[in-house]
Amino acid sequence: MLEQQIVYVVSDSIGETAEFVVRAAASQFDSGHYEIRRVSYVDDEDSIKEVVLAAKEVGGFIAFTLILPSLRNAMMDYAAAAGVHVVDIMGPMIDAFRTVYKQEPKLRPGLVHQLDEDYFRRVEAVEFAVKYDDGRDSRGLLRADVVLIGVSRTSKTPLSMYLAHRRIKVANVPLVPESSPPDELFQLPVKHIIGLTINPDELNLIRQERLKSLGLTPQASYAKYERILFELEFADKIMKRLGCPVINVSNKAVEETASIILDLMKRGGHTI
């Protein structure tokens, strides 16, 4: 027996249904040997082909919930050609409803979660905010509803999470003089970017408290007043270059700043 067997769960929606079924089945075996890899929101044949090849490479199989017949057929065809075992979880049940009750399916992915659409959009937005927090992956900037920029400790991360719970996909980028902003930032429409600034005295206090909480000396360069002025000047130049709106977060609660951001987004034509 292999040390670990891998099951790929493929869906054109979140993939919860398929994963639940797979886990229920795996519980009847030595579940410690099984790894479930979920591949969500599959909507093209190339993605299907990639998963099939991955499953073949590890000697695993695929369980899938694909609603569109074209994608279901593509999965069956690619898997057969590669010799990969697949389990169509949703297809036979849809066919049964069609056959017995003489009705045609809507063929719209994700309807099982329609009542909880807001919840799942919120989950997706939170996952997005975590993935693209603090400039981790600049590719996410082009997919974000809004991008927050500013120096360290201007509430970029708390605001990203707050807005994510409003189902808004937020990425944020720290502006640091020693590092040029990512090229993707300058490819965005101005309405997708919001700058955050802060009073230097307040930022100085915030950074000193941050250093104390980390057990570091407040005299570190991070909290020095000259350094803070240097960073704020650098950020101001970038924001002026971009031409984006700028919010001064000094003495503002996250909720208050978020309300201003939402208003700016509405005025910019975003659907919120």
For residue 172, the SS3 value is: strand
Of 168, 179, 166, the closest CA to residue 138 belongs to: 179
**Beta-carbon neighbour count of residue 211 at 10 Å?**
16
Give the neighbor-by-neighbor strand order of the sheet with 61-65.
34-39, 5-11, 61-65, 86-88
Per the CB < 8 A criterion, the answer to whether 18 and 89 are in contact is yes
Q: Is 150 annotated as a binding residue?
A: yes
Q: Is 102 annotated as a binding residue?
A: no
Q: Is 13 annotated as a binding residue?
A: no
Name the pairing type of β-strands 61-65 and 146-150: unpaired
Q: Is 197 annotated as a binding residue?
A: no
Q: Is 179 annotated as a binding residue?
A: no
Q: Is 212 annotated as a binding residue?
A: no
Q: Is 99 annotated as a binding residue?
A: no
200 CA to centre of own chain: 32
Please give the annotated binding residues for ADP, written as ranges: 150-157
Please give the annotated binding residues, written as ranges: 150-157
